[in-house]
Structure 1
Amino acid sequence: MTQTTSSTPPRGGGDPVLQTVGVTKSFGGVHALRGVDFELRAGEIHTLVGENGAGKSTLIKVLTGVYTPDEGEVRYAGETVHFRRPSDAQHAGISTIYQEVNLVPLLSVARNIFLGREPRRFGLIDVRAMNRRARELVEELGIDIDVTAELGRLGLGSQQMVALARAMSVDSRVVIMDEPTSSLETKEVETLFRVARGLRDRGVGLVFVSHRLDELWELCDRVTILRDGQWVHTGTMAEMSRLELVSKMLGRDVEEVQAEGATEFGASHRQSEEPALVVSGLDVRNRLHGIDLEVRPGEVVGLAGLLGSGRSETVKAIYGALRAQSGDVTVAGSKVKANSVRGALASGVALLSEDRKAEGIVPDLSVRDNIALAVLPRMSRAGVVSEAKIDRLVDTFMKRLRIKASSPDQKVRELSGGNQQKVLIARWLATEPTVFLLDEPTRGIDVGAKSEVQALIDELAEQGLAVVLISSEMDELVEGADRIVVLHDGHVQAELDSTNLSSSELLTALAGDREMEGSSRE
């Protein structure tokens, strides 16, 4: 294997517990991994980084038995292993927490924690014992959750903490965390980090994947960088600067990355006087209470708030996907049919959901079909779809958004999470919306792809699109939005001008300080 960058970090910590040696994996003739070597030691937290499409998710799936390598081998506790399915890895002592919660929404929290390992009595599931043990686990994590509640009724952040509780319930030697903080609030992230450090101190090896770079230096001991499916670098976090890490991820000189970093994101956009979107008195039972919102063409309005504040509920209600009891939505001066997704689409409203797995991609369809889904009626005449028009449209958006795929016919489930997100953005841009509702558009996206999406949001605003942006990252809202509307318990708490606004001031507003200087209701 040819390695373009060499680094030999000092030995330390425990013995190797999980390794890959020369692992190669291809899909449809496209190499996702090329001869990758990776080593996780007992008692360390090792981060795996790289752009979307670099091979991180594929490597994790090889380690956990989702994929079988085409070449190379996986070693566990010094022995070569052949995991044919995820259950093989789980039984061996490898637990995984995925970015997209992979649990059963219709079952209770307790059933999900012990799924496949339920305590039994006289051959039947001992529900009382299961619930008791589940309560002990969530209390240890500091989570306020009813373990008898149906998992699907909880928010994504709470579901992610349930996934963490499940991983803790197994006596694992390895825990793999794939974007575990993407749906979590600050307090929950602190809890997760405390648990991760505790596992490390007990000799467990942890693989941690996150696109929030600050988290890597706060938590991780070593780093392995992948680029285009190849190993690039392994070293200690303490020896690497942020600039060096990003330059190795992107395959560019440090000076080039430094120059690109100086480019301003989120400069004030030119805005029309007449609003493109007007929301008046929007009420959703037990969730939203009299939400008022205006967005002008060429304006990016951020929605900020803690978990449960009503951010996602607001955009879903605007889009008609969440039933509102009262309130009006107007687009370009015309009233949108209430509680109708079809009516919202016809009026020029598009919604990019935060949960691309459950509410976005159709995994077994191709990239082409996923992009074209929302515009098929426009691409047909007398019930006959124009394949040529679809091909031109798909080609345009694949190039514009730099979607990495072997061809438009590749299954979208085979793409990285970031490229799946780009496919969804392309789908809704193809509808030529007047208002674009973006719920966590950069969640789970690497540094390079995140910059591309942020630049695209700026470009769309410059072209006159009205954008509503939801993000859990304070910097993204402060830098990317012209105004920020702060929600608290389903109410509009404050409206902030992002000019000269700091992330700490926004955080103060999120914490509920109504007297914060510079905030006002409108």
Structure 2
Amino acid sequence: MGFERCPDRADGGDDRCTTPRTGADGDSAAQSAEAVPTVRLEGITVRYGGITALDGVDFQVARGEVRALLGENGAGKSTLGKVIAGAVRPNAGSATVDGHLLDFRPSSAIRAGVRIISQEMSLYPPLSVAENLVTGGFGHRRRLVRWRQAQATAQDHLDQLGLSIDARRKVGELSVAEQQMIEIARALFSGGKIVVLDEPTSALGVAEADRLFAFIRRMSRKGTSFVLITHFLDDVMAHTDSATVLRNGSVAGERRTAKVTKNDLVRLMVGADNRIASVVSGAEFRLQPVPESRPRLRIARVAAPSRITDMSLEVHPGEVVGLFGDIGSGSVELAEAAFGVRQAHSGSVEVDGVAVRSPEHSVRTLESAYIPQDRREALAFPQHAAANVTIAQLHRLLGLRLARSKEFAITSEQLGRLSVKSCDPRTLPGTLSGGNQQKLLFARCLVRPPRLMILVEPTRGMDVGAKDDVVRLIRSSAAEHGTAVLVVSAEPESILAVADRVYVAQQGRIRAHLHDCPASSSTLMTAAHLGETEISA
């Protein structure tokens, strides 16, 4: 997908264009090429105390356009999305929707058809899918609900999205991926015509993401505009019309995705090459041979409900091993088994020859650390950053109580190492970006370097620069402290940037083991589908 060709400019200007390409079915509302964009922001400036989050930003989205909003953590992406939704009032600037001036209030944005879906979901787990969908369309109006009819309407809406989810099911019974899909369905069901999506595919597998984007494209052809805040550049290249890149609160550039490469976008975001950027641009990395030392983590012929059929792998001291697999591959479940969260039906899981029994056993006896795929499971949001960073090591630091000054000193040191922006020991996690919340969990792991570190999607929700910071920390932890690290991810670039060796999982089995050979992102994707057992020099 892309744009129709704009007239050549005699002034040598850039290649920006705001008219989306008409869909194959010819029903795009954008084919009228209206002079006024659906959304136009001009000179948006947002300051928080002495920090400038946005500095004179101009941004626009045309009717039926799918526009990506890219940038590093702290670049201002989420803030700009909240400005569009009326959740943040700027210090300067103006915004219009369909030519009508907005007053930067949520109620005004909602009436204009703006909907925002944040990274943290706002569904009601005890209610059914139908109840979540229907109540999302009420706003502040009172209405008599005919629940049988509402349930049928909700089911029809889900069917149109291609979601095989029973509208009668409780939301709390759904997977994280399914809940994310319901969030998006609710926004569309409630009449959203300008939908801001903040990392919508971070919890979705490839097939689910493709289904979501197919629906987004169908809706865009009918006139719905989408702003996609994401770090997944493959999604941007495959499913958007254009991209706006923010850097340090300002617009670094705007590009039509049909005429740009991933590497071009990376350079706009970070201004320089880094390890992640190299993988994104297609570079190969030389994977290492299997060490001759005794494995620290040994998983042998493990089977466990409901997605592990037969998996084996080893991680040695001082090395980083990647486990690449999509949702449903069993990779996440294997990480849970390695930490004792999930019990195996058969096979063995050992750390330095000792069988893993439980998470508490892993932390206290085996000196293991674990970061789950959903950071909300691990963060204590009512507690400040210092409490979140030091909580796992209280029993080793100073018993059950830790002097506030020492707690703050430890936290400040870790936050500095991780380059966590706009955060001090007193900051509440809920005020941080998703990427900085993830860094808090890393800080917790690194207070006292563990013998084994198990990381599930450690760079999810992070920009390219922040991902590179985390990659360097993981590798330095392994090299300096001899920590054995298992990294589980569905992002091939994240795996290749950090791993010495790579296992590839699919359908509950280890499909390939890549070592002592060159590998690129395409190597991992090919291995996942062809399933070669050993790939080495």
Normalised to the residue count of structure 1, the TM-score between the two structures is 0.85
Does the C-alpha gap of structure 1 residues 269 and 371 become closer, same or farther in structure 2, counting only changes over 3 Å? farther
Hey, what's the Cα distance between the residues in 2 that align with 1:325 and 1:343? 19
Q: 1:405 maps to what in 2?
A: 422
Q: 1:101 maps to what in 2?
A: 121
SS in 1 for 2:135: coil
Does the C-alpha gap of structure 1 residues 124 and 493 become closer, same or farther in structure 2, counting only changes over 3 Å? farther
Q: 1:169 maps to what in 2?
A: 189
1:318-337 alignment, distance < 5 Å: 318-324=338-344, 328-336=348-356
1:424-466 deviations in Å (ceiling 9; x for gaps): 1111122321111111111121111122222322223323211
1:59-95 deviations in Å (ceiling 9; x for gaps): 112222333334333322222223444x653343112
Give 1:489 shift: 4.2
1:275 aligns with 2:295: yes
The answer on whether the counterparts of 2:154 and 2:167 sit within 8 Å (CA) in structure 1 is yes
Does the C-alpha gap of structure 1 residues 107 and 220 become closer, same or farther in structure 2, counting only changes over 3 Å? same
The answer on whether the counterparts of 1:101 and 1:163 sit within 8 Å (CA) in structure 2 is yes
Give 1:125 shift: 3.6
Give 1:405 shift: 1.9
Q: Does 436-445 or 181-190 show the bigger shift?
A: 181-190
1:89-139 deviations in Å (ceiling 9; x for gaps): 3343112333343322332222222233379xx975433323322332232
Hey, what's the Cα distance between the residues in 2 that align with 1:415 and 1:440? 18
1:68 aligns with 2:102: no
Give 1:42 shift: 1.4
Q: Which residue of 394, 418, 442 maps to 2:411?
A: 394
Q: 2:16 maps to what in 1?
A: 9
Give 1:504 shift: 4.4
Give 1:492 shift: 4.3
Does the C-alpha gap of structure 1 residues 49 and 105 become closer, same or farther in structure 2, counting only changes over 3 Å? same
The answer on whether the counterparts of 1:481 and 1:498 sit within 8 Å (CA) in structure 2 is no
Q: Which residue of 393, 401, 404 maps to 1:375?
A: 393
The answer on whether the counterparts of 2:290 and 2:515 sit within 8 Å (CA) in structure 1 is no
Does the C-alpha gap of structure 1 residues 360 and 37 become closer, same or farther in structure 2, counting only changes over 3 Å? farther
Hey, what's the Cα distance between the residues in 2 that align with 1:97 and 1:124? 27
Give 1:46 shift: 1.6
User: Which amino acid is 2:367 matched to?
Assistant: G
The answer on whether the counterparts of 1:270 and 1:298 sit within 8 Å (CA) in structure 2 is no
Hey, what's the Cα distance between the residues in 1 that align with 2:61 and 2:336? 42
Give the superposed CA RMSD.
3.4
1:248 aligns with 2:268: yes
Hey, what's the Cα distance between the residues in 2 that align with 1:285 and 1:233? 48
Does the C-alpha gap of structure 1 residues 518 and 198 become closer, same or farther in structure 2, counting only changes over 3 Å? same
Give 1:38 shift: 1.7
Does the C-alpha gap of structure 1 residues 428 and 479 become closer, same or farther in structure 2, counting only changes over 3 Å? closer
Q: Which residue of 199, 214, 222 maps to 2:219?
A: 199
1:460 aligns with 2:477: yes
The answer on whether the counterparts of 2:456 and 2:488 sit within 8 Å (CA) in structure 1 is yes
1:466-477 alignment, distance < 5 Å: 466-477=484-495
Q: Which residue of 430, 439, 443 maps to 2:456?
A: 439
Q: Which residue of 8, 12, 21 maps to 2:42?
A: 21
SS in 2 for 1:106: coil
The answer on whether the counterparts of 2:449 and 2:477 sit within 8 Å (CA) in structure 1 is no
1:473-492 alignment, distance < 5 Å: 473-478=491-496, 480-492=498-510
SS in 1 for 2:38: strand
Gaps of 5+ in 1: 1-5
Does the C-alpha gap of structure 1 residues 30 and 487 become closer, same or farther in structure 2, counting only changes over 3 Å? same
1:305 aligns with 2:329: no
Normalised to the residue count of structure 2, the TM-score between the two structures is 0.83
1:351 aligns with 2:358: no
The answer on whether the counterparts of 2:54 and 2:80 sit within 8 Å (CA) in structure 1 is yes
1:419 aligns with 2:436: yes
Identity fraction in percent: 36
Give 1:498 shift: 6.9
Give the paired residue count: 504
Does the C-alpha gap of structure 1 residues 36 and 410 become closer, same or farther in structure 2, counting only changes over 3 Å? farther
Does the C-alpha gap of structure 1 residues 321 and 88 become closer, same or farther in structure 2, counting only changes over 3 Å? farther
Q: Which residue of 167, 170, 187 maps to 2:207?
A: 187
The answer on whether the counterparts of 1:270 and 1:299 sit within 8 Å (CA) in structure 2 is no
Hey, what's the Cα distance between the residues in 2 that align with 1:432 and 1:77? 54
The answer on whether the counterparts of 1:353 and 1:360 sit within 8 Å (CA) in structure 2 is yes
Does the C-alpha gap of structure 1 residues 151 and 235 become closer, same or farther in structure 2, counting only changes over 3 Å? same
The answer on whether the counterparts of 1:175 and 1:205 sit within 8 Å (CA) in structure 2 is yes
Q: 1:58 maps to what in 2?
A: 79
User: Which amino acid is 1:45 matched to?
Assistant: V
Gaps of 5+ in 2: 1-12, 20-32
User: Which amino acid is 1:352 matched to?
Assistant: I
SS in 2 for 1:274: coil
Q: 1:211 maps to what in 2?
A: 231
User: Which amino acid is 1:71 matched to?
Assistant: A
Does the C-alpha gap of structure 1 residues 156 and 497 become closer, same or farther in structure 2, counting only changes over 3 Å? farther
Q: Does 108-117 or 36-45 show the bigger shift?
A: 108-117
1:142-157 alignment, distance < 5 Å: 142-157=162-177
Hey, what's the Cα distance between the residues in 2 that align with 1:480 and 1:258? 12
Q: Does 341-350 or 288-297 show the bigger shift?
A: 288-297
The answer on whether the counterparts of 1:281 and 1:290 sit within 8 Å (CA) in structure 2 is yes
Hey, what's the Cα distance between the residues in 1 that align with 2:464 and 2:244? 16
1:398-433 deviations in Å (ceiling 9; x for gaps): 222211125333333222222221121111122321
The answer on whether the counterparts of 1:484 and 1:498 sit within 8 Å (CA) in structure 2 is no
Hey, what's the Cα distance between the residues in 1 that align with 2:292 and 2:110? 56
Hey, what's the Cα distance between the residues in 1 that align with 2:130 and 2:16? 42
Q: Which residue of 240, 243, 256 maps to 1:223?
A: 243
1:342 aligns with 2:363: no
Does the C-alpha gap of structure 1 residues 131 and 398 become closer, same or farther in structure 2, counting only changes over 3 Å? same
The answer on whether the counterparts of 1:53 and 1:419 sit within 8 Å (CA) in structure 2 is no
SS in 2 for 1:114: helix
Hey, what's the Cα distance between the residues in 2 that align with 1:519 and 1:448? 30
Hey, what's the Cα distance between the residues in 2 that align with 1:224 and 1:260? 18
The answer on whether the counterparts of 2:285 and 2:518 sit within 8 Å (CA) in structure 1 is no
